[in-house]
Amino acid sequence: MAELTVNNLVFTYPEMASPALKNIDFEINNGEFVVLCGKSGCGKSTLLRHFKTVLTPHGQKTGEILFQGKNLDDVDIRTQSSEIGFVLQNPDNQIVTDKVWHELAFGLESLGYDTPTIRLSVAEMASYFGIQAWFRRNVNELSGGQKQLLNLAAIMAMHPSLLILDEPTSQLDPIAASDFLETVKKINRDLGTTIIMTEHRLEDIFPAADKVIVMDEGNMISEGKPKEIGKELRGMGHDMFLSMPAPMQIYAGVHNDMPCPLTVREGRQWLSELFDRKPIEKDTIPLETDPFIKSDAVVELKDVWFRYEKDLPDVVRDLSLEVKKGQMYALVGGNGTGKTTTLSLIAGINRPYRGKVYLEGKEVRKYSDKELFRGFLGVLPQNPQSLFVKKTVELDLFEAIGGKNEHKRAVFDSEMDKRMAVDGMAELMHISHLMQQHPYDLSGGEQQRLALAKIMLLKPRILLMDEPTKGLDNHFKRELAEILKRLQEHGVTIIMVSHDIEFCAQYADTCGLFFEGNIVTSNVPRAFFSGNSFYTTSANRLSRHLFKNAITVKDVITCCQMNL
């Protein structure tokens, strides 16, 4: 039986000429695991929000959506609340109570279940999801991964038949994300819950999917099994092939006639068979040299300690860090280890109770806000919405440089200069077609690009970025990397906190691993990632038994081509 049927769905946002969704048609059967993927802004989140009427965006809609054979508009809110679960990108946007056990019980209480039923369901979910150890804690004490797991458990306590997840791991570190996705697979396998999921991290989830749907510019361009999709996208020469799992990309780059691998395990077996009878002569990719070793330091932290309150534990502990002019330094590590707090200390938003922070040789606390944030320091926060203050994308971009017809910020000489700067930045960030939309109506990736555009208009010399690739597809990540490299050529120093291991491995100059408020190790990417067991790339895990220092898809393909 079909759990969800979409017939000829067309949706247009208010005052937009082109539809966000165009003639969407598909059917999802009971118990299926479906992955919905596509470039940032292709309409994935808009489509998912149509599957629950309270979340459906305002606009003009034609076509129909059937839930278990009944038109969704005719399904009452109580049934939708219990039968259709929805996990959002940002875990903080979904939590509504103060304690973990309150959150688990909230949905059932709202539906009017009696106390014994609620107690039984809460106990069962806490056990199933491994929440017992933090069952009575305050939700504000939880890490990002724990919050997202709590959201999932609270929804599953209502026993929905359909579970929808909109990029649920976008704010989680790689290990927490992998654990979360394993739990989602377990729900589908153990409970038979139908799952529809959008996810940019396809490595972990692609092999588990029964069906993959690919979208582009509001259209469905492909539908089928994971292995078929990869082959089809490659044949089309589509950019989305760059988002396919590393084993598929490596396979496509090496001439062979064996079956295509999907997982790291299958990729290792495929590589072993490929070189079974042929000896490997060149097994090492040379390590990068550090071109910044003799450059001047522009950001220095010396013996820095910080805690949020006097009686709370230290978040940053005896941290010393030096970042050179024009360098891209990536801070990686688990949720809650102190990375974002470190960015706030560099920006002068928080102050250490011991130790000092220097920017270009001067203590950060000796700069005025005007000196810091106008042409010197740019800060991209974890939540891009915190930067949006106007009703349209265009007005928000103008706000960054003083607004239309305002001259309070002397960054640009005339209105013509402002207009050229805004239009040029919008084109660079691929948001020109969104200028008249409200910033809150954009997808997660589009909001990220708008936030970055606002920061870049201020022409900072030091750029601090917290999760800059969150919500971005691989195609725009490459473009972002090119933008950042151009900035580096102009002497801009970049410090980036990221959970995107693949991006850091490919584009950072130096990577540092944060653990318990300090950097435990830092090195150039190949030396850094090839020495790690879990905190490394899929390409490295797939090939390390044969090749040394190969950490990217390109590295592994190069090694294969050198030896075949």
Identify the CATH number of the domain in which residue 205 sits.
Answer: 3.40.50.300
> Residue 232: inside a domain, yes or no?
no
Are 343 and 212 part of one and the same domain?
no
- Is residue 50 domain-shared with residue 86, that is, in the same domain? yes
Tokens of 168: 């649920």
Read off the pLDDT of each residue in 530-549 and give the average, rounded to a whole number.
Answer: 88
Please say whether the beta carbons of 309 and 350 come within 8 A. Answer: no
Indicate if 441 and 562 belong to the same structural domain.
Answer: no
* Number of other CB atoms surrounding residue 179 within 10 Å: 16
- Is residue 405 over pLDDT 90? no
pLDDT value of residue 492: 92
- d(CA 286, CA 268) in angstroms, rounded, equals 22
Same domain, 100 and 176: yes
Report how many domains make up the chain: 4
Looking at the structure, do residues 411 and 469 belong to the same domain, yes or no? Answer: no
Same domain, 113 and 220: yes
Does position 408 have pLDDT exceeding 80, yes or no? no
Do residues 46 and 187 both lie within one domain?
Answer: yes
CB half-sphere exposure, 367, CA atoms < 13 A: 22
Compute the average pLDDT of residues 205-219.
90
Claim to verify: residue 493 and residue 352 sit in the same structural domain: yes
State the CB neighbour count (10 A cutoff) for residue 293: 7
Query: So what's the pLDDT on residue 92?
Result: 83
- Predicted local confidence at residue 402, as pLDDT: 76
Helix (H, G, I), strand (E, B) or coil at 177: helix
Q: What is the mean pLDDT of residues 503-520?
A: 93
CA distance 450 to 444: 10
Residue 419's SS3 state is helix
The reported pLDDT for the residue numbered 403 is 64
Distance CA 533, CA 526 (A): 13
User: Given this model, what pLDDT does residue 326 score?
Assistant: 93
Taking all residues of the chain, what is their mean pLDDT, rounded to a whole number? 89
Is 231 inside a domain boundary?
Answer: no
Query: Average pLDDT, stretch 91-101?
Result: 88
Q: What is the pTM of this model?
A: 0.83
Give the pLDDT of residue 409. 46
Q: Is residue 233 part of a domain?
A: no
Does the structure show a pLDDT above 60 at 294? yes
pLDDT of 410 strictly over 70: no
Q: Which domain holds residue 326?
A: 290-376+460-523
- The sign of the dihedral angle between the CA atoms of 73, 151, 448, 505 is negative
Write the single-letter amino acid at 415.
E
Tokens, residue 473: 């597809």
pLDDT digits (tens, 9 = 90+) for 433-490: 889 888 988 877 888 889 989 998 988 999 999 989 887 878 788 888 988 998 899 8
AA letter at 284: T
pLDDT bin (cut points 50, 70, 90) of residue 388 is: very high
- Side chain identity at 533, as an amino acid letter? S
Within a domain: residue 276?
yes
Strands (E), 334-439: 354-359, 362-363, 377-380
Nearest C-alpha neighbor of 201 from the set 238, 170, 171 = 170
Whether 236 maps to a domain, the answer reads no
pLDDT surpassing 60 at residue 406: no
Residue 372: which pLDDT band, with cuts at 50, 70 and 90? confident
